[in-house]
Amino acid sequence: MSHRHFFQFLLFIVLLASCNTNPLDIDVSHITRSQSFTRFDQDVLKLRGADREKEYSALLDKYGSFGQDYFEFILQLGNPADTNALEAFDHIMGEDSLLMLTQNEIERIHGPKIEGYNDELVDAWKHYAYYFPEEPTPNITYINSWFNYAIIPSDSLVAIGLDFFLGVDNEVTKALPPESFPNYFKRKMESRYVVSDAVRGWLMVKYQDKLKQEKLINSLIWYGKMMYLVDACMPAVEDSIKMSYPSGHIEWCEKNEEAIWLQLANQKVMFETNRFEISKWFVDGPFTRTADLPQDAPAQLGIWTGWQIVRDYMKENPEVSLQELIDEENDQRILKYYDPRN
């Protein structure tokens, strides 16, 4: 190969690499944030036995009001200031109880992975801090929610129910009643979704006041914005993980993107105001429950499509900051850049 052809080839490789560069894949190694990681699920076990009142006071000192909320609202045992609540907890956490069996499985499945989760969460919030340096970073605690809550987000704390991520084939997961935990839900109870579910859940609660909920287009763009924020926090993570989609669902969406858009682009659909009809595009389920899509269409197609709309908008408007994206109230301005044929 001549020198001239070699340099042409080298230029081609450089250009090809630049075309595939993700603008959200940034260096955050210089960012430092104070963020604690605790195991509430382990600390709460200290309440079993004769010193339960003393241990409860220590738990409140460490976790604040979350310690009380855990008993009252998560386990629904009542106010732990009443010793009956602590005694009830002592009983349900007996060595052969279902809750203790679940805790044992949490240790077996997640124990070796906790440090990995922590590292991924630190990285996600470093990315968030890059774009929003003035915003607070929540602390993380891991809990056994007794299958009541997977993610409990607030500005200061994100509680992650590790019981919700034991794996679809885990015996505890299999034993969950199908009327409350149908198969489509159990498929998402995998450890690979722990970090993305926590980040996505926190973002959606943090920016919930930005959702107008008047027309379908409002929900479409808001969910798209939230998923783009997930992109920004986790730029190297697969789309299927970000959506908590099982294998094949992203491929179905990409293959049928134009068909999905034909349904949504109908003016009666896009500007629908009936909450029940709107929800069909966004709620979880075995499939998206609209009359004109097949039953192999994954659930939450409104979220996935809104995501692609916002991605196209940001691609065509690279000068727009994430804060400006969040604050943009003209949904149709964002929508006009969408091309489902890309």
Q: Are residues 161 and 234 in the same domain?
A: no
**Spatial contact of 30 and 133, defined as CB atoms under 8 Å apart:** no
Among 139, 173, 206, identify where a domain stops.
Answer: 206
10 lies in some domain = no
Residues 41 and 184 in one domain: yes
pLDDT in tens, 34-49: 899 999 999 999 888 7
Confidence bin at 4 (pLDDT 50/70/90)? low
Residues 41 and 86 in one domain: yes
Closest CA to 282 of 205, 209, 213: 213
Count how many domains the chain has. Answer: 2
Domain assignment present for residue 15? The answer is no
pLDDT at 13: 43
Query: Last residue of some domain: 206, 228, 255?
Result: 206
Query: Higher confidence at residue 222 or residue 57?
Result: 222
CB 205 within 8 A of CB 197: no
pLDDT digits (tens, 9 = 90+) for 37-95: 999 999 999 888 778 888 888 998 999 889 989 999 999 988 887 778 888 888 888 77
Per-residue pLDDT, averaged over 179-187, amounts to: 95
Residue where a domain terminates, one of 183, 206, 229: 206
- Regarding whether 183 and 48 lie in a shared domain, the answer is yes
**Residue 289 pLDDT:** 81
Q: What letter represents residue 337's amino acid?
A: Y
Domain residue limits at 287: 208-335
Enumerate residues 6+ apart whose C-beta is below 8 A from 76: 148
Q: What is the largest CA-CA distance in the chain?
A: 85
Residues 166 and 236 in one domain: no
One domain, residues 174 and 262: no
* 247 and 101 housed in the same domain: no
